[in-house]
């Protein structure tokens, strides 16, 4: 039995789809979801559903009964009073289940930056989560992407209507990216493979070596209209998040993440691409995802 958390999220949805596509003979899938109505009918009919939050120890205990594999993702929680506390709250529930119920393998979504990122907000919290889970002795794989291409969709209205892409990352430095589809595919492949043991990071880094300005040029070519980056500061980004209801802790954590990324370069040119786990190019993603979104 494979348990999937966040099955209606960007990455979790991809993981579920690939597990169900694996065909006969693959392990059954059980999902933990707050609102089962958010599952597509074709998915809901083929999985077991446990309703609730996977931060709730009782819910997670029920979901992991008889399961040997777990896909783990701490969901974005902009209202969290403490980012570190939120990660710890979720992770404590998982560690309790690992200790008590015989879960053998955990595949999580983490991040690049291990050994490099310092005081990096969300990045640091995610890396600390990995260490906590690995310390239980469970077989563990941390799927480690850089910046997700899908983050661009947050600015699709500005890109479409104004030809402007707000960017906190330094406009003239390489920013490594990957597509959500590749993160989901990598996680599903690991969940379906019962041969690996121990603890390891699995980088998922797309084939491009583009700066934000270079990415804007690709967007311009795909959309057939001029698009430019507009540099904003981490303070600007923090103010926007606060204006939209994020907690002080969440907004500051995002700002710290962006400042650390720019200063420490852990999503930059020094990170090699990983074509086996991340084949999708930024141009391909723009053609298949961004352009339809901009046209809708």
CA angle centred on 285, ends 281 and 286, rounded to 5° = 115
Is the residue at 97 inside a domain?
yes
Residues in the chain: 296
94-105 confidence digits (pLDDT tens): 998 888 878 999
Residue 91: what pLDDT?
93
| pLDDT value of position 24 | 67
Q: What is the pLDDT of residues 61-99, one digit of tens each?
A: 999 999 999 999 999 999 999 999 999 999 999 998 888
Asked whether residue 119 is domain-assigned, the answer is: yes
pTM above threshold 0.85: yes
Domain count, the chain: 1
Whether 70 is in a domain gets the answer: yes
Q: What is the CATH number of the domain that holds 58?
A: 3.40.50.720
Q: Characterise 282 by phi-psi region: left (phi > 0), alpha (psi -120 to 50), beta (else).
A: alpha
Domain assignment present for 81:
yes
Q: Please indicate, yes or no, if residue 235 is contained in any of the structural domains.
A: no
Query: pLDDT over 90 for what percent of the chain?
Result: 87
Contact between 50 and 31 under an 8 Å Cβ cutoff? The reply is yes
* Best CA proximity match to 128, nearest among 160, 92, 102, 172: 92
How far is the first Cα of the chain from the last one, in angstroms, to the nearest whole number? 39
The yes-or-no verdict on residue 230 having pLDDT over 80 is yes
Mean pLDDT of 161-166: 93
Does residue 25 surpass a pLDDT of 70? no
Q: For residue 163, what are the contacts with CB-CB under 8 A and spacing of at least 6? A: 225, 226, 227, 228
| pLDDT at 27 exceeding the cut of 90 | no
Instruction: Report, as an integer, the average pLDDT of 187-192.
Output: 96
Average pLDDT over residues 16-33: 87
Structural domain that includes position 187? 2-146+178-203
């Amino acid at each position: 039995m494979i348990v999937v958390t966040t099955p209606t999220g960007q990455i979790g949805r991809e993981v579920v789809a690939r597990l169900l596509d694996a065909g006969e003979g693959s392990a059954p899938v059980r999902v933990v979801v707050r609102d089962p109505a958010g599952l597509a009918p074709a998915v809901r009919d083929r999985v077991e559903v446990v309703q609730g939050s996977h931060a709730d120890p009782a819910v997670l205990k029920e979901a992991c009964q008889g399961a040997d594999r777990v896909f783990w993702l701490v969901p974005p929680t902009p209202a969290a009073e403490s980012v570190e506390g939120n990660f710890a709250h979720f992770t404590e529930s998982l560690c309790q289940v690992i200790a008590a119920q015989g879960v053998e393998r955990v595949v999580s979504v983490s991040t690049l930056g291990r050994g490099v990122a310092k005081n990096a907000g969300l990045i640091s919290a995610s890396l600390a989560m990995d260490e906590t889970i690995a310390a239980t002795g469970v077989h563990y794989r941390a799927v480690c992407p850089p910046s997700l291409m899908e983050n661009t969709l947050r600015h699709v209205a500005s890109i479409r209507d104004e030809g402007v892409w707000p960017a906190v990352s330094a406009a003239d430095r390489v920013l490594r990216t990957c597509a959500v589809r590749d993160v989901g595919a990598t996680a599903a492949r690991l969940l379906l493979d019962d041969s690996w043991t121990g603890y390891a990071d699995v980088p998922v880094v797309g084939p491009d070596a583009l700066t934000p300005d270079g990415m804007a040029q690709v967007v311009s070519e795909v959309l057939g209209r001029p698009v430019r980056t507009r540099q904003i500061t981490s303070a600007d980004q923090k103010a926007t998040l606060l204006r939209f209801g994020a907690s002080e802790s969440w907004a500051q954590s995002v700002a710290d993440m962006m400042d650390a990324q720019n200063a420490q370069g852990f999503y930059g040119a020094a990170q090699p691409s990983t074509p086996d786990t991340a084949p999708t190019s930024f141009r391909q993603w723009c053609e298949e995802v961004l352009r339809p979104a901009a046209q809708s």
